[in-house]
Amino acid sequence: MQIIIKRGRVIDPSRNFDAVSDLFVSDGKIVESLTNPASAHVVDASGCVIMAGGIDLHTHIGGGKVSLARMLLSDQLQSPISTPGQFDQGDSFLPTASQTASRYLDMGYTTCFEPAVIPCNARSAHAEMADVAGIDTGGYCLLGNDDVLLALIADKQPQALINDYVAWMVRATQCIAVKVVNPGGISAFKFGDRHFDVDSVHPKYGVTPAQVIETLCRAVHEIGLAHPLHVHCSNLGVPGNIESTLATIRAANGLPIHLTHAQFHSYGKDKDDHESSMVSAAAQLVDAMAKHPNVTIDVGQIMFGQTVTISADAMHQHDNFRFADPRKSILVDVECEAGCGVVPFRYRRKQFVHSLQWAIGLELFLMIDDPSRVFLTTDHPNGAPFTTYPHLIRLLADKSFRETALSEIHADAKSTSDLAGIDREYTLSDIATMTRSAPAKILGLSDRGHLSVGAVADVVVYRENDDLEVMFASPETVIRRGVIVRGKNATSVSDLASWTLTAEVSVDSSSVAKLADRYEQNSTFAMQRLQIDDEEMSAVIGSHPVVASKGKAK
């Protein structure tokens, strides 16, 4: 199919381009010109903004934890989303796979990544993501609490062998990156520890989270993965946890590191031990990022309303049971590779801590000057459903709207926040950077996130509107791999193939037998059973794997 998008304002931060221009699409790619323009479908983009398809680098859309949450809250999964910026019950915060795809496309997002793929559950995660029809997906392999890695570090095995273990797991699970959740802490929880910081010593293996972080950061860097180690820090949600976050940055020892849902890890604490002793530490994290250019973050913004928290961080989900709303939760172990906790939760506008969390997230967005180092996420569904992104964009880009929202939160949270003194408003170029070009770059996706010739034709046309919430909630046209899926003459996404974006990494074959022996000592099945080949992905799981990022050759 050939398409001409005419007279639109093209915003492409990857090449510093912001001008009215035509865009040409042929055979699923952006091209210089068309061979037969007279027969092309024309999209009149006059008065519109044209951007590449959105990329969400952290959204929980597949795997066992999502399925468990749906089972736990099956009685609430029918009510639609209510007023803008406010979400209520059911499938607004925990949509099915098909609803997930539809709602992402409705906003102009075309690529999404599940950030917690446990190796023994990778098939399930990919199978569910294959049903997110019309969206390209990918996963981050979850390591750092598995017995094999902890034992390799404890036994002081060579970094090269650890690198081969990490590379083998990424390749076997058809993932594109590596994530660690509460490094070593999920494992320590199973031995009775209930508090575990970056310098704590594991009760069995004698290693610290700092060692796990540096080892994995080095492995990810040395095998050549584009995306840095994706880190869920120690002490999520705990007042005073900024010290753990800063220690995590130091543990990386200058290597690239990405701190995920950083809002939940940017809390200070006054001397008084009560609820209102929690204070914002966003400025401390921003200062640390200025000193450490190796650090990037996504925010994990919270929004007010009902949601459900789902996390591999069993230690802190166990602690959060007392806050469950409604009063029911799930905590499970997963083959001793990680954990899983599901806790329903309601963020309340007039509750001090919740109001402060909301403000801290916005402070991070607005105080970090470089939009290529901070990414738009709500840690869906933990902070809020991804469907609140348009509302969040308006908060970032419209100071008067933000001030009105600030006036409605808990008075003490408002008075302790620096948000009122921040004048910055995001530009459309900032928004395109944070949601398009920068996620593509940090994930090594050279074929998307931009509108240059040769890019995948994931293109979104937004009608310009002073109300950016309206603008980004309802694009006029969405083109997915060269096919119109939203707007006039749209094609059903059920007719489109599912694609899984993976990384190609090398493994020393002589290491595999050693690693398999270690894995067998701690698992109920052989390590080779984790491996998902391309044929199984396509013929059984239903998604076509495509190498989107290449590591270093051996």
DSSP tag of 257: E
Q: For position 274, what pLDDT does the model report?
A: 61
Residue in this structure with the two tokens 């995660």, named with its chain if needed: 125
Q: Can you give the pTM of this predicted structure?
A: 0.95
What does 24-60 look like in DSSP terms, one character per residue? EEETTEEES--S-GGGSEEEE-TTEEEEEPEEESS--
In 206-281, alpha helices (H): 209-223, 242-251
- Whole-angstrom CA distances from 550 to 171, 187, 203, 215, 501 are 11, 31, 37, 21, 11
Beta carbons within 10 angstroms of residue 481's beta carbon: 21
With beta carbons less than 8 A apart as the criterion, state whether 79 and 92 touch: yes
Dihedral pair phi/psi, residue 120, rounded to 5°: -75, -10
Please give the CATH number for the structural domain made up of 1-53+450-491.
Answer: 2.30.40.10
Q: Please tell me the distance from the alpha carbon of residue 11 to that of residue 50, in angstroms, as a whole number.
A: 6
Q: Please tell me the distance from the alpha carbon of residue 445 to that of residue 434, in angstroms, as a whole number.
A: 15
The alpha carbon of residue 322 and the mean position of all alpha carbons in its chain are separated, in whole angstroms, by 26
| Burial of 71 from C-beta contacts in 10 A (0-12 / 13-18 / 19+) | exposed
Q: Please tell me the distance from the alpha carbon of residue 254 to that of residue 172, in angstroms, as a whole number.
A: 28
- Whole-angstrom CA distances from 308 to 320, 326, 388 are 12, 10, 15
Q: For position 84, what pLDDT does the model report?
A: 43
- Whole-angstrom CA distances from 332 to 79, 100, 235 are 28, 25, 19
With beta carbons less than 8 A apart as the criterion, state whether 260 and 58 touch: yes
Question: Using one digit for the tens of pLDDT, what is the confidence trace for 198-215?
Answer: 999 999 999 999 999 999
Q: For position 554, what pLDDT does the model report?
A: 67
Element (H, E) at 320: helix 314-320
From the first residue on, what is the mean pLDDT of each consecutive set of 10 residues in the chain (554 residues)?
96 97 96 93 97 98 88 74 44 84 96 96 94 95 96 98 98 98 95 94 97 98 97 96 98 98 96 76 98 98 95 89 90 83 94 97 98 98 96 98 97 94 97 98 97 97 97 97 93 87 96 96 91 97 93 74
Q: Please tell me the distance from the alpha carbon of residue 239 to that of residue 257, in angstroms, as a whole number.
A: 23
